[in-house]
Structure 1
């Protein structure tokens, strides 16, 4: 695509956008003094206008039915999570029996690692990314400590080469080969939260399995952003939050995936709860746990219906759009953002905006991380005052995420104009 850094070009591209009407299905923040440019869908997605209706339906049914709403609500609460399953499976490239929406992200990761981190003998180490999102780091550290190991020994961290911002896949392969007899599990973020780098999950899964390791991913920044194919890739397990690209409300419900080959293994260790119990015998209150032969077996408690209602409102939009069209617009928008940043950086001598996210669109999603050389937080404070809602990471990185469901080309152009207005000062 031949981009132009002009308002006319941006507006023409928006007119051609087959997904442009979906922008009208979301509520944009009103707290900014200037018109908002919302670029933090990688942190918290916008609220669909339909969310209030979906939640109110459950509130009305609660008022009408009380406890009987579990059976007689418009969307009965007892099996409520089941109405999310097919749509979730389509988003992450899984079979319906391989996914369930439940709990929160780190809770799900812990529950999955109870089952899939099974250290024994000299095979006790976990391969993970260095400087992962802190929650993942804490989870991994606590898991190895729980099994009696020291994190400094049990965690093999994939580090960056000096002077580089993204991980080379050949370095991942080299570490797997080097420690092939020691690695019990590989657990990596599918998209790095800081740089926006998309890891080659298919290759990592193949390499890990060849080494005899279990392979799982934290897909917090990938679900709803990347065209995932978890079943096809053979990934063992994964979890993701629903509140970023999936717009499911602050702290909204999480999803988890377990590959079909593990689902009928009743001997697989797990922390159990009654909502993972065989549905035919759940209310017989039997003492022995008999897991559902699907990913539902990793549920603990009954569905948080209000949170799931908010999630359903967004999933219905995703189903209407489809991941293929969404990713096509994502690449066009992110490509335009890349062009605008480069254009500004080339024309101004007083700044160097280095994009540390991979330039190859197959190695990124809807995020560009900008290393603003020679600039401090005053640049970020300025664009915030001008209405840009973005994300600052020390020491001088600005994360920009144009979400294709509700962002458009004019948003990107306006962002560029705001950057230029700062530089002109």
Structure 2
């Protein structure tokens, strides 16, 4: 049996060693062993999450409530009750105030820096608006084809063909606005204005929905003279695949610089799941994310934006409000305007209106608490949970299990996407898992065509949870397969009977 010290080291430092120990233990997939791992887990955070009757395994869509976030929100209201307007200003920072700059609160920015790896604190701000609104703002700012670009055809946005609907909708909206602006300036006087669909270059995956780095690189190189913006997701929501963004951008460095291509990232499934180093990828212009997936925010809750400090914002002027001014100087200019005190680089140049401290409290609290533990330790535990769950799924589902997500940890995060051979009605699996029984109720989710998505979270998933969920999943899948087989056979005999009746009816031929 593993010692407490061994388990602590495995779960915080050594996922490879953990799985070697699992492989060597014939009882590793027993309930007792899972319980033993939980009892000796050095990062036991489950009690900090408010989990109801349904055990969550779909934190990639929406996680459970993080209790300290509620406490942080209550603290904001308490300060408002006691200090009223004074809560805005630096004098109240010691008691959680200084709301005027809550979107750039230093400790929270450092916590964001720990997972995103940006070089300068000015490159990131927390926002009250959600991912799609932030993406729309950034893309509308950086998609700026000149008349020369319209004449040469350098007007396109390149993105994954399976990108989330909202990202594609934003892309099309920005393209339509760009086309209209060009038309208003007479660009198409002697030609037909293009359709937004004609201005997208879609990167295509293989039959399983997975992307090949070399194929992406070759496509971008081939169309480089046409591309204004290259927009990629770090982690693909439908398959759990993590693109090798550092390699892709290294290989495209000369092309991106030569053709002045704007590079943007969607980090919706990265934030709170895996770390990324934006400073090492110096060619990334902007990035967006969200907090309601792996960071357990409420539905649609905000995160923030990243803008590279080296981007020339004189060429891409953002919409600014008074918050883009230096906080210590703006009140002296409150009845006028002074361009000299406005931020002119990084994300801080994109500040507009006051952000609500209530809106930002959950994500900032989550990041600060997790950063205090250490993302290296949290990632190691996540890997142990994910690999254990994957091994158990393989063992229990056997030849029926078809893994979609790449198994290599460098090519995925915590989300595992798979199919069950012979199973067509995957929605039944999601529904049946939520129904009460002795093992419990569990939530995972499904996506077309027949993908099942499941995530074990370092904060609130236990090894016993994995045991129970996979055991029930196996039972549910067997039952659904049997039901589908019965329905198929019934339909077959009904069709055969109908054909026989038709064939024996006078005047009717089959």
Following superposition, the deviation at residue 166 of structure 1 comes to: 0.6
CA–CA distance in structure 2, aligned partners of residues 364 and 419 of structure 1 = 22
Q: Following TM superposition, by how much is the alpha carbon of 1:381 offset from its aligned partner in structure 2, in angstroms? A: 1.4
Q: Is the 8 A contact 1:129 1:188 kept in 2?
A: yes
Structure 1 residues not aligned, in runs of 5+: none
User: Is the 1:249–1:307 Cα contact (8 Å) retained in structure 2?
Assistant: no
In the alignment, structure 1 residue 82 sits paired with structure 2 residue 107:
no
Q: Which residue of 2 aligns with 1:127?
A: 158
Mapped to 2, the partners of 1:256 and 1:230 lie a distance apart of 12
Partner of 1:27: 50
Do the aligned partners of 2:309 and 2:345 also contact (CA within 8 Å) in 1?
no
1:265 shift after superposition = 3.9
CA distance in 2, matches of 1:304, 1:292: 23
* Alignment partner of 1:238 out of 287, 295, 303: 287
Matched residue, 1:185: 229
Q: After alignment, is 66-75 or 406-415 more displaced? A: 66-75
Separation in 2, partners of 1:257, 1:423: 43
2:452 pairs, out of 398, 406, 410, with 398
**Does structure 1 residue 274 correspond to structure 2 residue 322?**
yes
Mapped to 2, the partners of 1:293 and 1:356 lie a distance apart of 41
CA distance in 2, matches of 1:52, 1:423: 37
> What TM-score, normalized by structure 1, do the two folds share?
0.91
Query: In the alignment, is the contact (CA less than 8 A) between 1:108 and 1:254 conserved in 2?
Result: no
Q: Does 1:384 align with 2:434?
A: yes
From 208, 211, 229, the counterpart of 2:255: 211
1:311-333 deviation line (CA, Å, top 9, x unaligned): 22212221122211111111111
Provide the rounded CA distance (Å) in 1 between the counterparts of 2:434 and 2:414: 20
Tell me by how many angstroms 1:44 deviates: 1.7
Cα distance, 1:292 vs. partner?
Answer: 5.0
Q: Is 1:197 aligned with 2:241?
A: yes
Matches for 1:274-313 after TM superposition, within 5 Å: 274-283=322-331, 284-285=333-334, 286-287=336-337, 289=339, 290-291=342-343, 293-313=345-365
RMSD of aligned residue pairs (Cα, Å): 2.0
Tell me the SS of whatever aligns to 1:128: strand
2:270 alignment partner in structure 1? 222
Q: Aligned pairs, how many?
A: 413
How far is the alpha carbon of 1:288 from its aligned partner?
5.4
Question: 182-191 or 4-13, which moves further after superposition?
Answer: 4-13
Structure 2 residue 97 is the aligned partner of structure 1 residue 52? no
| Structure 1 range deviating more: 115-124 or 139-148 | 115-124
> 1:224–1:246: 8 Å Cα contact kept in structure 2?
yes
Secondary structure class of the residue paired with 2:327? coil
What is the CA–CA distance in structure 1 between the aligned matches of 2:293 and 2:453, rounded to whole Å? 14
CA distance in 1, matches of 2:140, 2:326: 20
- In structure 2, the partner of 1:40 is 58
Structure 1 residues 145-154 or 66-75, which shifts more?
Answer: 66-75
User: Is this contact kept in 2: 1:123–1:181, CA < 8 A?
Assistant: yes
Between structures 1 and 2, the one with greater helix share: 2
In 1, Cα distance between equivalents of 2:314 and 2:462: 48
Distance in 1, matches of 2:38 and 2:116, equals 28
Give the deviation of 1:281 after TM superposition. 4.0
Aligned to 2:125: 100
Q: In the TM superposition, what is the alpha-carbon distance from 1:68 to its structure 2 partner?
A: 2.5
Q: 1:423 to 1:179 in 2, by over 3 A?
A: closer
- Structure 2 CA distance for aligned equivalents of residues 277 and 287 of structure 1: 10
| Helix, strand or coil at the partner of 1:261 | coil
Output the CA distance in 2 between the equivalents of 1:204 and 1:158. 13
Structure of higher CA gyration radius: 2
Extract unaligned runs of 5+ from structure 2. 1-18, 23-27, 180-193, 480-510
Structure 1 residues 110 and 207: CA distance shift in structure 2, 3 A: farther
Measured in 1, the distance between the counterparts of 2:205 and 2:367 equals 36
Counterpart-to-counterpart distance in 1, 2:360 and 2:354: 11
